[in-house]
Copies of this chain bind each other. A is one copy, B any other.
Amino acid sequence: MRRLIGIMKKNYTVDFPDIFKNLKRGPQIITLKDMALISAYTGISSGQKIVDAGSGSGFLAIYLGNLVKPDGKVISYEIRKDFAEIAKQNVKKAGLEKVVRIKNKDVSKGIEEKNVDVITLDLPEPWKVVKNAKKSLKKGGWIVSYVPNIEQVKKMVEECEKQRIKHVHTIESFIREIIVRKKGTRPENTGIIHTGYISFFRRN
């Protein structure tokens, strides 16, 4: 950890991928490719206010924290105390304590923040949060859900339509690493073929 904070102080910002690799992995974490798509398709950048739930190990919160710094905020809700603890430690390791706040609270009970740019939901039942999420969201703001099963996508789309939040699109993505060697170039043989469906919704 000391090494990592050292890195941050020296402003070796190019080392964020290294910092990321060294975070503690507790509950199942979202992949970098999916975090990349979530932030790119909503245009997350410096200065924004993001609400995230659930924190899990805090990876998505930290990834987004790195994008909204120095003046933005990520507030991440986590219902389980043990996960919230891991997430907090990871935020510290990443040197993002001033940007990312982990709240050990049940997000479905209410979102305290207002005027939020983007709300990211990596939860088994994201539809339970939609009604409250809408109230916290800035006009034009986004809700993004990330779920493994197609039934979850459908329920989320239904609830958002009911709450008059527009379903912009739902995507899934694949990545293949290409092995480049003297003896031959080819994609790697085995790997991840499904992580989750990312759905984008938007408040008018």
Q: Choose among B12, B19, B45, B186 the residue that contacts A67 (Cβ–Cβ < 8 A).
A: B45
A23 adjacent to chain B (CB < 8 Å): no
In the bound complex, what is the Cα–Cα distance between A121 and B46 (angstroms)? Answer: 24
Which residues of the partner chain B approach A46 to less than 8 Å between Cβ atoms?
45-46, 67-70
B170 touches A177 (CB 8 A): yes
Interface size on A, residues (CB 8 A): 69
**Contact code string A18-36 (vs B, CB < 8 Å = 1, else 0):** 0110000000000011011
A178 touches B172 (CB 8 A): yes
8 pairs of A and B residues whose beta carbons are closest in the complex: A16-B43, A149-B184, A36-B40, A187-B194, A36-B36, A46-B46, A170-B178, A14-B140
Which chain A residues have a beta carbon within 8 Å of chain B's beta carbons?
11-17, 19-20, 32-33, 35-37, 39-43, 45-48, 63, 66-70, 117-118, 138, 140-142, 148-154, 157, 167, 169-178, 180, 183-195, 197
